[in-house]
């Protein structure tokens, strides 16, 4: 870690958001328009969750009606959180998202812990897990009757990670176009599932099919699960996992065109759309799959294809392949959107002195944060060899703790800086509702699994000595500074990068 004084930037509404960018300067240009913004939010949210979480939610709710209710509740909850982040994203003109907001409100150590948990597992580990899901669905049609070799899964996962990291390193326009394509592809895939499901509903109604009787009494427990209200928090966890990703969009504020308008409008459109399409997809699932079949399924989308086209072997094979392809594209879009946004947090943290200096540099001609992308890739590749899912579970409660703390900045700044310019404001009741719900999620996680949360807390707190040694300590031996200069100059030469030439916040 570099020994650089933490700079508390004047990031609060100091730069005109509509100023044109000089393409001759080495800065991150404003490539993120409304279309890209919506594709980043929707594309990051809709990943593997919609193909995994339905089973988890049903197992903890017991009924179709309660399961759909949880999907609606989680959608509303996530929308409130996204709107709160939209206010922060328009109040602060600096990229970095919750890292920047925590830095401005609570100081560098809290902000560093946010970056620390993201690098250790929360973000890098998530990309590793999603890439494995990508590889699993890609190979599933070839290994339907046997287990997929784990080495094959890992190699394919490493390949997709390398491709997406490479694209984000060489061209911002290319990565945004890729995100738009992958977002459209996954929406098309979900629309196909919805159309097939509603076709079965219409067909069942016309034929008076008894299979649709489950919709006549949606809150009746007809698969004999031992439901109790204590299981609802776990159902909510599964739902929030499917909706996660909305909090990363504001990490790109310095690259968003007209952020004061784009951020709130894109947030509202994306969250409403994602919630509606999730609910319709689950209705389609239940139109074809019984609760018992869903509980026994390891790949809901593939079993949906098997049952929907049970009478046609050809149709079943084709649709299974189609579903696999769309799941693969969905996972790729989630990784690409998450990488595009999160690397900006690493970039800003390095610019502030919280990470190695080279990660704050930009490619001279391509205008991409190349070091922030490529130096994160080895961490993800190492995590492919580990049981990173357990590590993510350990740190999942800390993610919601930081989200609650970030949202608390809204009432705190409303009190401390009442006259601060806020281009977009949410009703004060919304952040309080979201904070209480987030703390509820944290408390339930602590009660439900204190051992895992305890380990996660220890991992998070390990960032404190790392911060004091790597960032705060300024009396390091001279050899440290010499090695740091050699390290920085080496990567500058091989990556062709320099520090940004103009302040963009």
Mean pLDDT, rounded, for 115-121:
90
Q: Which two tokens stand for residue 223?
A: 């698969």
- pLDDT of amino acid 201: 84
pLDDT tens-digit series, residues 347-392: 999 999 999 999 999 999 999 999 999 989 999 998 888 777 677 7
Q: What percent of the chain has pLDDT over 90?
A: 53
CA dist 339 and 491 (Å) reads: 21
First to last CA, the chain: 24
Residue 281, pLDDT > 70, answer yes
Residues 251-263: b if buried by 16+ CB within 10 A, e if exposed? bbbbbbbebbbbb
Task: Specify the range with the lowest mean pLDDT, choosing from 17-31, 176-190, 481-495.
Answer: 17-31
Comparing 50-54, 261-265, 488-492, 498-502, the range with the smallest average pLDDT is 50-54
44 neighbors 338 (Cβ within 8 angstroms): yes
212: three-class secondary structure by DSSP: helix
Q: Is the pTM of this model over 0.85?
A: yes
CATH number attached to the domain at 34-499: 1.20.1740.10
pLDDT for the residue numbered 207: 53
Residues forming a β-bridge with 498: 362
For range 189-198, the mean pLDDT = 90
Comparing CA positions, the residue from 451, 432, 197, 442 lying closest to residue 301 is 197
pLDDT higher than 90, residue 11: no
Q: According to the model, what pLDDT value does residue 16 have?
A: 41
Burial string for 448-465 (b: 16+ CB within 10 Å, else e) reads ebeebbebbbebbeebee
Range from 173-187, 229-243, 417-431 carrying the lowest mean pLDDT: 229-243
φ, ψ for residue 203, nearest 5 deg: -65, -40
Query: Which band of pLDDT confidence, cut at 50, 70 and 90, is reported for residue 228?
Result: low
Residue 12 has pLDDT above 70, yes or no: no
Q: Which residues contact 267 (CB under 8 A, 6 or more apart)?
A: 41, 82, 83, 85, 86, 246, 249
Is residue 125 within 8 A of residue 390, CB to CB? The reply is no
Position with higher pLDDT, 247 vs 223: 247
Residue with tokens 């308008």: 261
CA separation for the pair 182, 176 (Å, rounded):
10
The stretches of 92-123 forming alpha helices (DSSP H) are 98-106, 108-117
Q: Determine the pLDDT at residue 75.
A: 94
Rounded to an integer, the average pLDDT of 392-407 is: 86
d(CA 253, CA 258): 9
Nearest to 123 by CA among 244, 273, 286, 211: 244
Q: At what angle do helices 64-91 and 232-243 cross, to 10 degrees?
A: 50
Query: Do the bridges between strand 497-499 and strand 361-363 make them parallel or antiparallel, or are there none, so unpaired?
Result: antiparallel
Span 57-74, mean pLDDT?
A: 87
- Grade residue 144 by pLDDT with cuts at 50, 70 and 90: low
Following DSSP, what letter does each residue of 138-154 receive, concatenated? Answer: HHGGG-TTSPPPHHHHH
User: In the prediction, which pLDDT does 4 show?
Assistant: 37
Q: Across the chain, what does the average pLDDT equal? A: 85
Look at the block and give the residue holding tokens 């409100």.
105
Residue pair 46/333 in contact by the 8 Å Cβ criterion = yes
Distance of alpha carbon 125 from alpha carbon 122, whole angstroms: 6
Strand residue runs (E) in 265-422: 361-363
* Sequence-ordered list of residues with C-beta below 8 angstroms from that of 247, at least 6 positions apart, any chain: 81, 82, 85, 97, 98, 403
Take residue 421 and report the two structure tokens written for it: 């310019």
Average the pLDDT over 403-429 and give the result: 94
d(CA 370, CA 343): 9
- The arithmetic mean of pLDDT across residues 243-256, rounded, is 93
| Helix, strand, coil in percent for the chain, rounding step 5 | 75, 0, 25
Is pLDDT above 80 for 32? yes
pLDDT of 61 above 50: yes
Token output for 377: 């890739």
In this predicted structure, the answer to whether residue 486 has a pLDDT above a threshold of 90 is yes
Q: Which of 91-105, 162-176, 207-221, 453-467 has the lowest mean pLDDT?
A: 207-221
Extract long-range pairs of 153-160: CB within 8 Å, 24+ residues apart: 154/384, 154/385, 157/128, 157/131, 157/132, 157/384, 158/131, 158/381, 158/384, 160/131, 160/134, 160/135, 160/331, 160/332, 160/335
Confidence of residue 277 (pLDDT cuts 50, 70, 90): very high
Q: What confidence score (pLDDT) does residue 209 get? A: 54
Mean pLDDT calculated for residue range 161-180: 95
State residue 324's pLDDT score: 81
Alpha-carbon span 358 to 14, nearest angstrom: 26
> CB count, 10 Å around CB of 422?
18
d(CA 330, CA 51): 10
Helical residues (DSSP H) of 27-149, grouped into ranges: 34-45, 49-61, 64-91, 98-106, 108-117, 124-139
The residue written with tokens 């459209």 in the block is 184
pLDDT of residue 9: 43
Phi, psi of 228 (to 5 degrees): -150, 160
- DSSP assignment letter at 21: P
Q: Is the pLDDT of residue 436 over 80?
A: yes
Mean pLDDT in residue range 441-451? 82
Q: Please give the average per-residue pLDDT across 232-248, as a whole number.
A: 84
């Amino acid at each position: 870690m570099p020994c650089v004084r933490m700079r508390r930037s004047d990031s609060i509404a100091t730069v005109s958001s509509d100023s044109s960018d000089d393409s001759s300067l080495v800065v991150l240009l404003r490539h993120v328009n409304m279309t890209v913004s919506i594709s980043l939010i929707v594309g990051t949210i809709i990943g593997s969750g919609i193909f995994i979480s339905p089973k988890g939610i049903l197992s903890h709710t017991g009924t179709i009606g309660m399961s759909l209710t949880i999907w609606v509740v989680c959608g509303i909850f996530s929308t409130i959180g996204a709107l709160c982040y939209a206010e922060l994203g328009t109040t602060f003109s600096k990229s970095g998202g919750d890292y920047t907001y925590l830095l401005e409100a609570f100081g560098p150590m809290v902000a560093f812990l946010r970056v620390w948990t993201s690098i250790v597992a929360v973000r890098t580990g998530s990309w590793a897990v999603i890439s494995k899901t990508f590889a699993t669905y890609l190979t599933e049609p070839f290994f339907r009757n046997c287990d997929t070799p784990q080495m094959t899964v890992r190699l394919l996962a490493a390949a997709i990670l390398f491709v997406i990291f490479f694209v984000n390193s060489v061209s911002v326009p290319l990565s945004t176009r890729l995100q738009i394509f992958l977002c459209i592809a996954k929406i098309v895939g979900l629309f196909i599932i919805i159309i097939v499901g509603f076709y079965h509903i219409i067909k069942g109604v016309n034929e008076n099919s008894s299979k649709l009787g489950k919709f006549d009494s949606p809150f009746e427990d007809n698969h004999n699960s031992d439901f109790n209200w204590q299981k609802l928090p776990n159902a909510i966890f599964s739902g929030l996992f499917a909706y996660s990703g909305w909090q990363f969009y504001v990490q790109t504020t310095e690259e968003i065109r007209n952020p004061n308008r784009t951020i709130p409008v894109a947030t509202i459109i994306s969250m409403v759309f994602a919630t509606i399409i999730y609910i319709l997809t689950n209705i389609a699932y239940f139109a074809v799959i019984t609760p018992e079949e869903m509980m026994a399924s390891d790949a809901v989308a593939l079993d949906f294809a098997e049952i929907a086209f049970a009478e046609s072997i050809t149709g079943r094979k084709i649709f299974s392949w189609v579903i696999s392809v769309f799941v693969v594209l969905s996972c790729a879009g989630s990784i690409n959107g998450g990488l595009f946004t999160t690397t900006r947090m690493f970039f800003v943290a390095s610019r502030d002195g919280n990470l190695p200096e080279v990660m704050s540099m930009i490619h001279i001609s391509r205008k991409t944060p190349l070091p922030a992308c490529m130096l994160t890739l080895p961490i993800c590749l190492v995590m492919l060899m580990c049981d990173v899912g357990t590590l993510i579970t350990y740190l999942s409660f800390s993610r919601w703790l930081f989200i609650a703390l970030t949202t608390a900045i809204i009432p705190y700044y409303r009190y401390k800086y009442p006259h601060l310019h806020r281009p977009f404001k949410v009703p004060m009741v919304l952040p309080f509702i979201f904070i209480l719900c987030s703390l509820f999620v944290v408390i339930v996680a602590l009660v439900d699994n204190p051992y895992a949360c305890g380990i996660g807390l220890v991992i998070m707190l390990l960032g404190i000595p790392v911060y004091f040694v790597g960032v705060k300590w300024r009396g390091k031996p001279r050899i440290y500074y010499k090695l740091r200069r050699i390290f920085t100059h080496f990567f500058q030469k091989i990556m062709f990068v320099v520090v940004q030439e103009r302040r963009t916040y």
